[in-house]
Amino acid sequence: MASCTRTPRDSDAGEKPGARTSVCAGETAHTIERRRFAEFMNLFVGPVAALSTEQNLLVKRELLQSLSRRSVYWIALLLVGSPFWFVFGSWIKTSDIYPLFRVVWILGLWGIAAPLAAYLLKMTMRLPKHASVNAVEQMHWAWAALVMLTSFWWAAASFGLIPPKFVVLHGYYFRFGRYGFLELTMISQAFTLLLLAPSFRAALGALVIGTIPFGFNMAPLFFVARPGMFDWYTAQIIGYCVVAWFICNDQQRTCVKEVVLEEARSQAVAATAEKNQFIAAISHDLRQPLTTLGLKLDFIERSIKSTNLAEDVSIAQRQVDAMEGMINGALDICRLESGTWNVEVREVALPSLLRGIVVDMQPLAETKGLKLRLHSRPYLVRSDRHALDRIVRNMVLNGLRYTPSEQGGKKGHVLVSCQRRGSGIKISVWDNGIGISEDRQADIFKSYVQVDNPERNREKGFGLGLSIVQGLANLLRHKLDVDSTPGRGSRFSVTVPFIGLIPPELREVQTVEDGDPDLTNMVVAIIEDNSDLRIEISMRLIEHGCYVVAGESSSDVIEQLRIEALASGPHFILSGYRLENEDGIAAITAVRAATDASIPAILWSGDTSSAVLKKVAVSGIKLLSGPDSEQTLLTILAEHKPKTLTEGG
């Protein structure tokens, strides 16, 4: 972008106002003149604004509605004027065909133009609200065609009117013949220009197509008797076309401005309503802790020697913490919206960042009776450490708040993991909590919106965490994903750019819990077309250190293995038997063919038919009744883990 500076011509001292000149770096005199000429032309033909697809459709619909109304008015004027010419016009009577022509003309005008206008008006009013641009354009062309046809039919009356006689007459002379019909029609074109302004094609068609009958009737007479009149009427038609272009262009620019202003007004109203909701919510949430804090402090003042003083101070401290959390969250939202949140993008070591978050959140998880687990890898990513910490921390906190200690006989748990996905690292927070319905997933990122907290329970937060997550992800240009099923749980993920692996000598020592097999860096391919089951198995294995590549078919898994370009693996294949487009045996065979034929694998299936059992037995692949036994799966994987597998391999 060229920068502009102001420089004095000679001296700033004593110069008159306006004596300074503006010089734009990077712009030559020729460029400046071209820009000024373009700005001048924009007054007539230039775009008012860059329209989006939705705005463009709104403009076209508005112009169509205006054209339909005005076309009806224009046709009505012609229909009202036609009886006048039918009665008082100087019609040719020398042949039997002319009276018939006279009747056909007025009946055709009333019998064709009026019904078609009523039909098109009805179709325009019935146009669906979400009609496509093509549908609107087709209706626009239909109105333009009707206007052209009506204009042509009106001018065709000149064939039945008495032609002009160019003789020298004394005084004013006027007849309702062919020449008078032409004169009055040309004068009335001013109404045509004004009424058909929403559509240049309709206005131009009415002018040009309507002159064709006059050309056939009047041109020979003008060439012979009044050559100058032919030039005059031709120039008049051209002038009308130029004026029509300016009027129609101005009408369209006005319509564009109205649409843009209306959309801006709607956005302002929506923003005001959202701010009002924001203020109402924060006022409500702040009022409660303030009231409680005031009462507690008053009570402490009156009973300073109370044995319950420690508990009362603790309650007061919790209210202060609540208010501090709300105020800090509100300030963070304001910083994000105003663009004043500064970030410093650099290398970030994921293991230490994620471990710090999990350690901080562990007491809250234990208080709620939840199992909080971490599976990290020695990845270096590019991000702002503070902002990324805030994103993941808020996602973990959200999972802990909305995951019950037990649901459906399963203990509540939250898993933090990271997986390589092409050129990025996908950091995911999994939980088996209440889940979110698909129609509400967009709302959870709005400020002070909580899906399952109508009573505004502060233990479930204030509805700001995910809003801050969304704002920070947008600021860092990190992709944010949500995958959730009501009653089954949620997975919130953020994808950050991958730099490389932390050098082995700088990695922190990882330990494995007693009784758990060490499956760190073992690559497992999972083929299962049931997404819920696939996610559940992936979570179990990720918790124990496995690197999981999962898909609904063998082709999905092969494509992911190709994209991720793993140094080794997969080391094991897990597959369901009944898949959508193939059976498990074929899927395992395809993955082996694309990687390594010696990869061990197991199948699971609840089908006990002899045909299936025989087919599996012939394949030599072990069959389980289902993947429900976590310990069985872990034991099998531990037995097949390569002994040479090293950390970070």
The full DSSP string for 198-216 is: T-HHHHHHHHHHHHHHHHH
Q: Where are the alpha helices (DSSP H) in 109-199?
A: 114-125, 133-155, 178-195
452 against 207, higher pLDDT: 207
Assign 157 a pLDDT band (cuts: 50, 70, 90).
Answer: confident
If one compares 69 and 17, the residue with the highest pLDDT of the two is: 69
What is the b/e burial string over 283-321, where b = at least 16 CB atoms within 10 angstroms of the residue's CB? Answer: eebbeebeeebeebeebbeeeeeeeeeeebeebbeebee
Q: What is 515-649's CATH number?
A: 3.40.50.2300
436-447: average pLDDT: 61
pLDDT band at 10 (very low <50, low <70, confident <90, very high): very low
What pLDDT sits at residue 315?
62
At residue 647, the pLDDT reads 45
Q: Cβ distance 381 to 497 under 8 Å?
A: yes
CA proximity to 394, closest of 445, 465, 450: 465
Instruction: Break the chain into its structural domains and give their ranges.
Output: 4-42, 53-164+175-267, 353-508, 515-649
Of 196 and 280, the structure prediction assigns the larger pLDDT to 196
Kindly tell me if the per-residue pLDDT of 509 is higher than 60.
no
Calculate the average pLDDT of the chain. 75
> In this predicted model, what pLDDT tens digit does every residue of 286-319 receive, in sequence order?
556 666 666 666 666 566 555 566 666 666 666 6
Confidence of residue 403 (pLDDT cuts 50, 70, 90): confident
This model's pTM is above 0.85: no
Position 60 scores a pLDDT of 84
Q: So what's the pLDDT on residue 216?
A: 81
In angstroms, the CA 597 to CA 514 distance is 34
Q: CATH number of the domain at 353-508, out of 3.30.565.10, 3.60.15.10, 3.30.465.10, 3.20.20.70?
A: 3.30.565.10
* pLDDT at residue 286, as a whole number: 59
pLDDT at 4: 43
Question: Please, are residues 587 and 579 in contact by the beta-carbon 8 Å criterion?
Answer: yes
